[in-house]
A and B are shown apart, each in its own frame.
Chain A
Amino acid sequence: ETGVTQSPTHLIKTRGQQVTLRCSSQSGHNTVSWYQQALGQGPQFIFQYYREEENGRGNFPPRFSGLQFPNYSSELNVNALELDDSALYLCASSLGGLAATYEQYFGPGTRLTVT
């Protein structure tokens, strides 16, 4: 069984630029959630994708957007980067739908630094 993977591991961008982060979900999972974790804090929910559709969104502006692909992998896109976007971005996969469980399994994260 393959776990959740994320790429890249680290990324440095300049304010105003755009960034795309990628996530491959665990085999057998159809749901991907994205979280932002600032230094010293707990993760904050950005949004969730279930079967290629957005299935819930946290308190993040529209410049945070996402996609889920037919193989359930996912992308997080952030436009017009701001300094406060510097954080660890975590992807979590889970099983949604009728067989849903509460358990989410996290990838290692992408450390984004905006300068």
Chain B
Amino acid sequence: TQLLEQSPQFLSIQEGENLTVYCNSSSVFSSLQWYRQEPGEGPVLLVTVVTGGEVKKLKRLTFQFGDARKDSSLHITAAQPGDTGLYLCAGANFGNEKLTFGTGTRLTIIP
């Protein structure tokens, strides 16, 4: 069974600070996706990474896929209250579109 562990589980920081969320597995994934979910809504896809070592940037968010394709990180620069939400990583393997979700990181940005 493939598992994805996220850390930290909860994070509360002041507006303007930087933060990093980690997603780790003992298994290799063909791709890894990051989602943000707000209360009462479905997850919204932020990014997909597929190549080991790949780095993608989305405005103030930087996503990295580990060289061995077992882990990923999400770094947010100058966090804003609008970044508040549940961040989920999810791994997928080619030929099997099932997503294995991480345990989630609940981020709160304090104005």
Contacts and interface: CB of A to CB of B under 8 A. Distances in A.
A106 B43 contact: yes
B98 A102 contact: no
A108 B42 contact: yes
A25 interface: no
A41 B99 contact: no
Contacts of A90: 42-43
Contact of B42 (A56, A58, A107): A107
Contacts, number: 69
A18 B96 CA distance: 29
Given A103-B45, A109-B40, 7 more contacts: A33-B98, A40-B104, A42-B104, A100-B97, A102-B92, A104-B33, A106-B35
Interface of A: 4, 31, 33, 35, 40-45, 48, 50, 55-56, 58, 90, 92, 94, 96, 100-109, 111
Interface of B: 30-31, 33, 35, 40-45, 48, 50, 88, 90, 92, 94, 96-104
